[in-house]
């Protein structure tokens, strides 16, 4: 097996060919913030939080979808990157209605964690306070579109791990939303197996178990990675 | 079909054609100005005057001078009539026969608008009937395809295209030959050719005109590309807003199949090539190559990260060559006339010609095909005839991805690198001229609104960044923005440019940044002092980035 060696924030690391910069950073113990990335499903490079700088490349590279190549010298925490990441998180907060104090995911929210990581204490962009609605038609789960950050993890989990493809993205641009079935109420989508993987995959409190109140949602985010490894390598213990 | 048969078709068509031809443009632009009625009246007049043996009326594609439509041109006299009214049709026929005078407005076919042009792609545009393959064959059509299939190896074709110096006409300017070579070098197996006709820039209509006026030229270019890279299947992706282009393409494909110029064993060789049409559903972002591929596959038209590039892994995960309509339309000429002849047009790094849609506050609106390296001043002041009242303030090139070039830089030569150096880009060929009454902040606001509506919504900077940029520009125009807002506008522009996933987001802030660069006073004059400052200077909201 071919191996590439590269440097990430001064740490030298050897990694199998075909792995991404994000994989290499994880192995080197260098934290890179992510939101749309989730082990177990394919990467889409949508949240742009994992952007890094590579010496000799003028472009910023999304670590989750860029292959780690021989001799790369990667910087993950330059001033510019920190600044852009903070702006990205601010843009996300300004886009939806993210009110931690009344959210089911408070204390167990990846968006909240990332905000803390990048040092975002308030948004400099004007809040848009959208009115996106809430779908509570499913018997066990609910989706509050106001808390959705369009990471599409639920879409990918449902399609790639569960194989049901209940979710997809509807509309375009700022009007984008996670659509159930053929733009039906979630509860009426026959394809839904009520497996709850989307609830676990959701980084925020957008998809939740009914009956949960503030700070009660505890998503099992390792589940998808466990399931895919289990299926591929027949390792059924966690 | 072999070469003798092809030439026999050409000869037969030449024999059929009448010595005098009245060309009537029936493309979208002229059609909107009732060209169909003009055409019908011309036909009726020829019939009524029983001169069908000497004279024929031909429905043709775009002649370029779209602002003067409907256009009628007479060969061989080369009389050009503009803004022809349906009731003037009869007198044009009479005048052509030398039996009377016409009231129709006669235009000078030698005026600068035409004189500065170098028609390569548009050589037959406005001369041949786009719905007749025979007319295309009569002017030498499909001879280049015969030449490559019988006399050249695929590698020679790629080398010829590389030597021509042709660069992607969709706007990026990537060397076409290099792209072809990459796809050709991929392992044998299923490969695809895609022709990108999802033209969507405001004010741009070059590809529509090429597809409507000379569809066979594009098909021939695609077939040559198929032979060069080893692909047997092509797709033309056209936006649904171009119904005439779609119907003419459909007709062209049918005709080419009937003559054995498309399909199996083209020119009795082992080379197969078929073309299908895919119609876009109205998303601007589908002009981005990876989104376009997703759309052809039937998926949501979202861009996906590159690499892998389509040349390696494109449509249905197969190596895919994707070029713009105008790029393909250059190919037959390059093969026919040779790479050297083509490379003799243009500048050191930008060869050949480029079609521009010249629009805005300018006397002569329309399509022009000019050699690379011509200055903006020649285009705007001489060909375009300048601004009707007043003077040029700026020229916008490259659509929502481009920038505004101020009048002081009008001597900039039109080529990929020079336009980039002044903060704009070649783009697909939109060229909007603005006069002194134009508010540049409003222009930036207009383009940002366009990008905000057209972003696919996949990546955060483009989806939410364009919304914030748009609202900051709105705030400015309302006279409510402070220096802090302006600084935020700048910083966010850099951020969206540098962190977006695809070309749409990366270039969305360009109209803002280029107007900020050349017309900063228009922004600062709109600023107000925030009330709480009591006259003290504001601190920048966001600390400067490396780029700032």
pLDDT in tens, B365-395: 999 999 999 999 999 999 999 999 889 999 9
Is A125 part of the contact surface with chain B (CB cutoff 8 Å)? Answer: yes
Domain A84-233 has CATH 3.30.70.20: yes
- A205 with A218: CB under 8 angstroms? no
Which residue is closest to B454 within chain A, CA to CA?
A173
pLDDT of residue A13: 95
Put simply, the answer to whether B466 touches A45 (Cβ < 8 Å) is: no
* b/e sequence B32-68, b meaning 16+ C-beta within 10 Å: ebbbbbbbbbbbebbeeeebeeebbbbbbbbbbbbbb
Across the interface, whether the CB atoms of B495 and A62 are under 8 A apart is answered no
Q: Describe the strand order of the beta sheet including B366-371 as a list of residue ranges.
A: B366-371, B353-360, B430-435, B392-397, B403-406
pLDDT-based confidence at residue B541 (cuts at 50, 70, 90): low
Q: What is the pLDDT of residues B486-497, one digit of tens each?
A: 999 999 999 999
pLDDT value of residue B544: 46
- pLDDT reading at B547 higher than 50: no
Rounded CA gap, A164 and A194, in Å? 10
In this prediction, residues A49-77 reach a mean pLDDT of 96
Instruction: Using pLDDT thresholds of 50, 70 and 90, give the confidence band for residue B546.
Output: very low
A60 touches chain B (CB under 8 A): yes
Could you tell me what percent of chain A has a pLDDT over 90? Answer: 92
Which uninterrupted H or E stretch holds B344?
A: none
List, by residue range, all CATH 3.10.20.740 domains of chain A.
Answer: 3-77
CB contact under 8 A, B466 and A173: yes
Q: Is A121 on the interface with B (CB under 8 A)?
A: no
Residue B320 backbone phi and psi in degrees, to 5:
-135, 130
Length of chain A: 238
Token couple for B516? 């900020």
Question: Quick check: B162 pLDDT over 80?
Answer: yes
Contact indicator for B463, A50 with CB cutoff of 8 Å: no
- The answer to whether the beta carbons of residues A208 and A142 sit under 8 Å apart is yes
The region of weakest confidence among A221-230, B252-261, B324-333, B391-400 is A221-230
What pLDDT is stored for residue B548 in this prediction?
38
Architecture of domain B140-343: 3-Layer(aba) Sandwich (3.40)
Calculate helix-pair angle for B215-229, B206-213, nearest 10 degrees. 100
Neighbours of B154 (CB within 10 A): 17
Contacts of B467 in chain A (CB under 8 A): 95, 128, 174
Contact B545 A65 (CB under 8 A): no
A173/B542 CB distance under 8 A: no
Contact B456 A47 (CB under 8 A): no
For every residue of B104-135, DSSP letters joined together read SEEE-TTSHHHHT---STTSSTTTS-TT-HHH
Write the DSSP symbol of residue B296. H
Average pLDDT score, chain B:
94
**For residue A47, which phi and psi values (nearest 5 degrees)?**
-80, -20
Distance CA B56, CA B371 (A): 33
| Stretch (H or E) spanning B376 | helix B376-377
Quick one: CATH architecture of B440-533?
Up-down Bundle (1.20)
Structure confidence at residue A46 (pLDDT) = 96
Four-CA torsion B228, B231, B233, B238, nearest 10 degrees = -60
Query: Taking 50 as the threshold, does the pLDDT of residue B300 lie above it?
Result: yes
Q: Considering CB atoms only, which of B305, B454, B488 is closest to A124?
A: B488
pLDDT score recorded for residue B538 = 56
Task: Select the CATH number that applies to the domain covering B353-435 from these four: 3.90.920.20, 3.10.20.600, 3.40.50.1820, 3.30.420.40.
Answer: 3.10.20.600
Select the residue of B454, B498, B501 nearest A173 (Cβ to Cβ): B454
Q: Are A161 and A108 in contact (CB under 8 A)?
A: no
Average pLDDT over residues A157-177: 95
- B-chain residues near A90 (CB < 8 A): none
Please give the interface size between A and B, counted as residue pairs whose CB atoms are below 8 Å apart.
109
The confidence score (pLDDT) of residue B539 equals: 58
pLDDT reported for residue B542: 55
Q: What is the mean pLDDT of residues B20-40?
A: 96
B257, with CB counted inside 10 A (0-12, 13-18, 19+), is middle
Q: Which one of B200, B291, B468 would you mutate to disrupt binding with A, by most A Cβ within 10 Å of its Cβ?
A: B468
**CA atoms of B238 and B279, how far apart (whole Å):** 5
Q: What is the 3-state secondary structure (H, E, C) of A92-155?
A: HHHHCCCCHHHCCCCCCCHHHHHHHHCCCCCCCCCCCCCCCCEECCCCCEEEEHHHCCCCCHHH
Would you list the domain boundaries of chain B?
18-115, 140-343, 353-435, 440-533
- Comparing CA positions, the residue from B92, B68, B96, B95 lying closest to residue B82 is B68
Question: pLDDT, tens digit, for every residue of B220-235?
Answer: 999 999 999 999 999 9
The whole-angstrom distance between A46's CA and the closest CA on chain B is 4
Residue of B nearest to A66 (CA): B307
Contact between B457 and A172 using a beta-carbon 8 Å cutoff? yes
Q: Facing residues of A155 across strands?
A: none
Q: Can you name the CATH fold of B18-115?
A: Glutaredoxin (3.40.30)
* Angstroms from B455 CA to nearest CA on chain A: 5
Contacts of B456 in chain A (CB under 8 A): 172-173, 176
Cβ contacts of B283 on chain A, cutoff 8 Å: 172
DSSP B188: S
pLDDT of the residue at B73? 96
How many degrees, rounded to 5, is the angle at CA B504 between CA B498 and CA B506?
10
The architecture CATH gives domain A3-77: Roll (3.10)
Residue B332 buriedness (CB in 10 A; 0-12 / 13-18 / 19+): buried
Chain-chain contact of B305 with A44 (C-beta, under 8 angstroms): yes
The answer, yes or no, to whether residue A12 has pLDDT greater than 60, is yes
Which pLDDT band holds residue B534 (cuts at 50, 70, 90)? low
Domain with CATH 3.30.70.20 in chain A: 84-233
* Res. A31: pLDDT tops 50: yes
- Whether A120 shows a pLDDT value over 90: the answer reads yes
**Chain A nearest CA to B490, separation (Å):** 13
Cβ-based contacts of A77 with chain B (< 8 Å): none
């Amino acid at each position: 097996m071919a191996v590439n060696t590269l440097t990430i924030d001064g740490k030298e690391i050897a990694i199998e060919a075909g792995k991404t910069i994000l994989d290499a950073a994880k192995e080197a113990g260098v934290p890179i913030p992510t939101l749309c990335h989730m082990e177990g499903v394919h990467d889409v490079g949508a949240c742009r939080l994992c952007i890094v700088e590579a010496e000799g490349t003028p472009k910023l590279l999304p670590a989750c979808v860029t292959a780690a190549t021989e001799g790369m010298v990667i910087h993950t925490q330059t001033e510019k990157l920190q600044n852009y990441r903070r702006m990205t998180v601010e843009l996300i907060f300004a886009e939806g209605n993210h009110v931690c104090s009344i959210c089911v995911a408070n204390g167990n929210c990846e968006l909240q964690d990332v905000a803390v990581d990048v040092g975002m204490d308030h948004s400099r962009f004007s809040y848009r306070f959208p009115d996106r609605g809430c779908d509570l038609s499913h018997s066990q789960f609910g989706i509050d579109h106001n808390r959705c950050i369009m990471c599409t993890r639920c879409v990918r989990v449902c399609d790639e791990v569960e194989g049901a493809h209940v979710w997809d993205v509807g509309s375009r641009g700022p009007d984008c939303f996670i659509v159930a079935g053929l733009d039906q109420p979630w509860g009426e989508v026959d394809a839904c197996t009520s497996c709850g993987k989307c609830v676990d995959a959701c980084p925020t409190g957008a998809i939740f178990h009914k009956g949960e109140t503030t700070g009660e949602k505890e998503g099992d985010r390792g589940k998808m990675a466990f399931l895919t490894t289990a299926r591929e390598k027949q390792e059924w213990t966690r | 079909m072999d070469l003798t048969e092809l030439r026999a078709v050409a000869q037969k068509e030449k024999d059929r054609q009448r010595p005098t031809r009245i060309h009537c443009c029936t493309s979208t632009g002229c059609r909107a100005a009732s060209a169909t009625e003009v055409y019908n009246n011309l036909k009726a007049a020829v019939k009524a005057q029983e001169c069908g043996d000497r004279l024929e009326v031909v429905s043709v594609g775009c002649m370029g001078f779209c602002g003067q439509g409907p256009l009628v041109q007479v060969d061989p006299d080369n009389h050009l009539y503009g803004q022809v009214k349906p009731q003037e049709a009869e007198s044009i026929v009479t005048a052509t026969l030398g039996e009377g005078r016409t009231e129709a407005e006669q235009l000078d076919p030698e005026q600068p608008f035409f004189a500065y042009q170098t028609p390569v792609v548009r050589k037959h545009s406005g001369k041949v009937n786009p719905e007749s393959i025979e007319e295309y064959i009569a002017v030498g059509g499909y001879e280049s395809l015969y030449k490559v299939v019988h006399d050249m190896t695929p590698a020679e074709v790629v080398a010829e295209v590389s030597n021509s110096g042709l660069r992607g006409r969709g706007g990026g300017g990537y060397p076409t030959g290099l792209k072809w070579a990459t796809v050709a070098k991929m392992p044998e197996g299923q490969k695809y050719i895609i022709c990108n006709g999802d033209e969507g820039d405001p004010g741009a209509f070059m590809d529509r005109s090429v597809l409507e006026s000379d569809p066979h030229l594009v098909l021939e270019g695609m077939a040559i590309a198929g032979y060069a890279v080893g692909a047997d299947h092509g797709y033309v992706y056209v936006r649904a807003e171009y119904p005439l282009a779609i119907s003419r393409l459909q007709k062209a494909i049918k005709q080419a199949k009937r003559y054995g110029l498309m399909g199996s064993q083209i020119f009795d060789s082992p080379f197969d090539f078929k073309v299908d049409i895919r119609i876009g559903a109205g998303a601007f972002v589908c002009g981005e190559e990876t989104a376009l591929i997703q759309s052809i596959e039937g998926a949501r038209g979202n861009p996906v990260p590159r690499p892998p590039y389509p040349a390696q892994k494109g449509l249905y995960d197969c190596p895919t060559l994707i070029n713009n309509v105008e790029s393909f339309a250059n190919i037959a000429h390059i093969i026919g006339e040779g790479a050297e002849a083509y490379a003799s047009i243009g500048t050191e790094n930008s060869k050949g010609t480029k079609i521009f849609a010249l629009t805005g506050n300018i006397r002569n609106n329309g399509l022009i095909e000019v050699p690379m390296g011509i200055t903006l001043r020649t285009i705007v002041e001489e060909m375009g005839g300048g601004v009707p009242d007043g003077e040029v303030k700026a020229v916008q090139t490259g659509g929502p991805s481009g920038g505004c070039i101020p009048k002081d830089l009008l001597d900039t030569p039109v080529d990929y690198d020079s336009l980039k150096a002044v903060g704009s880009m070649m783009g697909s060929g939109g060229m909007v001229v603005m006069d002194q009454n134009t508010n540049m902040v409003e222009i930036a606001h207009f383009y940002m609104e366009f990008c905000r509506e057209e972003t696919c919504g996949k990546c955060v900077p483009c989806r939410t960044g364009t919304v914030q940029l748009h609202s900051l520009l709105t705030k400015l125009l309302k006279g409510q923005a402070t220096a802090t807002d302006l600084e935020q506008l700048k910083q966010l522009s850099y951020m969206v440019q540098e962190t977006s996933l695809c070309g749409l987001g990366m270039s969305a802030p360009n109209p803002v940044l280029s107007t900020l660069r050349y017309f900063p006073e228009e922004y600062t004059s709109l600023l107000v002092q925030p009330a709480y400052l009591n006259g003290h200077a504001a601190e920048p909201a966001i600390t400067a980035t490396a780029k700032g």
